[in-house]
Structure 1
Amino acid sequence: MPDLTPSPDTTLIHHPYVPPAGFAAPQPGVYKASTVFFPNVAAMRAREWKDKSAYTYGLHGTPTTYLLEERLATLEGGAQCLLVPSGLAALATVALSLLRAGDEVLLPDNAYGPNKDLAQVELAHYGIRHQIYNPLDRADLAAKITPATRLVWLEAPGSVTMEFPDLPALVGLCRARGVRTALDNTWGAGLAFAPFDLLGDGTLGVDISAHALTKYPSGGGDVLMGSIVTRDADVHLQLKLTHMRLGLGVGANDAEAVLRALPSLLLRYRAQDQAARGLAQWLAAQPQVVQLLHPALAGSPGHAQWQALCGARDLAAGLFSFVFDARYSQAQVDRFCDSLRLFKIGYSWGGPTSLVMPYSLAAMRSAPQAQLQPGHLVRLAIGLEAPQDLRADLAQALAQAF
């Protein structure tokens, strides 16, 4: 008889030991796989990944990604969730799934810049048109919806300039016209308001919520990931099939990092919010500053809309902008940013480190911004440093620059 005892190298791959079930700990296990084993051919043919009832291939889901998707769907008040490699990938997946040649998409003028670029360049290659609307003017949106309009993007608040729109009014208008709505909900993070229940009675919500998990859910400034949450099973399946055809997936260790950070999400969000409000109020009193842009503070564009939608929870992200008086030069504004010691110059937000970024609005908006004072705009993202230290840093930078 031939010796059927496997050699040591084979045994290491096909070792018979299976750890006992029932292990429980604060953090869930991390599953990494491209190949997924099937016990037999019949099981291989019978398995279905679209409803998360089984596993077929790593790109279609693992216990780790399924778990994160379910928790994120609950966070935002949705029923289904997809994970993608970045927040921008979430926006692109929505567009590529729902729009076809001849269709039209509408975007607010203060939308996240790369989403506008996506429409202006990539979607145009596919024969998809776009229009830009004023998010603070419901009538402007109403006038721009055409029979070809298939999708309206919303942001609350707007990118960089932080105007807060009347979301229920805009969503209600789109629903009455039979047009789907998609919200970039990165700022709200599923905490400031309920995107699928804007009135609190279950009667009105967006169709899709896209979220850059890179920001608050990750919390560490070290993960790139996005999510797409829906309540409509048919829309979710359409998105999921596009997601599959594009070959989109996320790394197991990145999913682990977000799962680890989620339990502290509300604590971090609230702490950064409170610190930001205090610093914003202090900056508003400085003579060099002519306008403060923070939706939770009176006088900021859209404050009443923030109060109506978010006031009950009294939450706002740790992000705001302000405008330096136009009498100062751009060189002085740049010197202010360069003089900061704790604030680092960098994009993104939601992490532990406070960030600063000067912006030129002329290149970012398609129409004059009547709600903004003339001057030079700077955005701050507040991290987890002691607020009094951040205030001292701002004070010394102001003294050096002006």
Structure 2
Amino acid sequence: MRRLGLLLGAGLLGLAAAGGAWALRHRPIEVPVAREERDVPIRVFGLGTIEAQVASRIGFEVAGTLAEVLVDHGDRVPVGTVLARLAPAAQQARVAKAEAGVQSAEAQQGRVAAAFDRATALAQQKRATSQRRRELASRGTTSPEAAELAETDAVAAAADLALARADLAVARAALADAQAVLLAERTALAKHTLTAPFDAQIIARLREPGTALGPGEAVFGLVAPGSLWALAYVDEGRAGAIREGLAAEVRLRSLPGEVFPGRVVRIGLESDRVTEERRIYVRCLRCPPQPILGEQVQVEVETGRLPAARLVPEAAVEGFDGSSGRVWVIEDGRLRQREVRFMARTLDARLALDPGLPADLPVAARVLTGFREGRAARPAS
């Protein structure tokens, strides 16, 4: 009898445990559901750096030894400011030689011009003499031989004049060549002085006096202070709604607590084929006092606002392809999976449900252990 009672008790306990397990397995589960929110901002995030739209490394166009460096790192210089000079002695000597060449060519041209004037006068005199001799010979006053001799002299004088004219053209060409050489040497001398090509800030001083430089070797790094912007890389899958002129917020890594307002001013026309990112350029409306080129920045671009939306965390969506996915809903007190569309994605990885979905259909905001098709469920309070 005692054994029978023990067996009966054990059986009752087993039945109770099985009933409890069945109740736990089949009782309605409380599901947190998506709630409607108002005025939901839609933002796109990108990481990047501070860059300059107008930046250059400049140096001398000619070779030489650096004699003077007149500005330093951090200086702001207006356009045309003298930044550095090369030692000019050798080039000054070339200029002096070219000037002497011009003077010699001018003297030669003067001598040839005088010879041309003399030849012109002689040719005119010989022509007049020949004309008179022909008239006298026609009247029988002088011999034909004298007229022929005068004609020959006139022809010879005309040839001398042509030769003098050619010599004058050669002298003029020589003078022009000497002047061109002088201009080239003076231009080369001017290139021994390096000036600012635009209103700039010196961000790098790369050479010091005494350095032998080759043509084009950089001496300074310059940027135009007003051309600084943030270059951000945005995932192609999130960048489609970004347009020029949209408001943006910029956060510097060195000033994480401050937000600098900006505006999108350029969208790159070529994406990175490896990282599949698009380049977005943002100009700040209120800039930091001393931006540093290359500093890492975080950029958020607001692409729009939703007056009202139900938001579901992306983690609660299965098979999300960028525009649609499967979510858990409660229909007639039972869990069901349904394919739905989404109209936007927030910066905190929540998806806005398509407003075409019935507003009274509860959508699970979190997937819990025990979710399965047909499981009894009710929205959590």
Could you say which TM-score interval applies, normalised by the shorter chain? under 0.3
Question: If the length of structure 2 is used for normalisation, what is the TM-score?
Answer: 0.22
Question: If the length of structure 1 is used for normalisation, what is the TM-score?
Answer: 0.21
Instruction: State the structure with bigger RCO (CA 8 A, min sep 6), 1 or 2.
Output: 2
Which structure is larger by alpha-carbon Rg, 1 or 2?
2
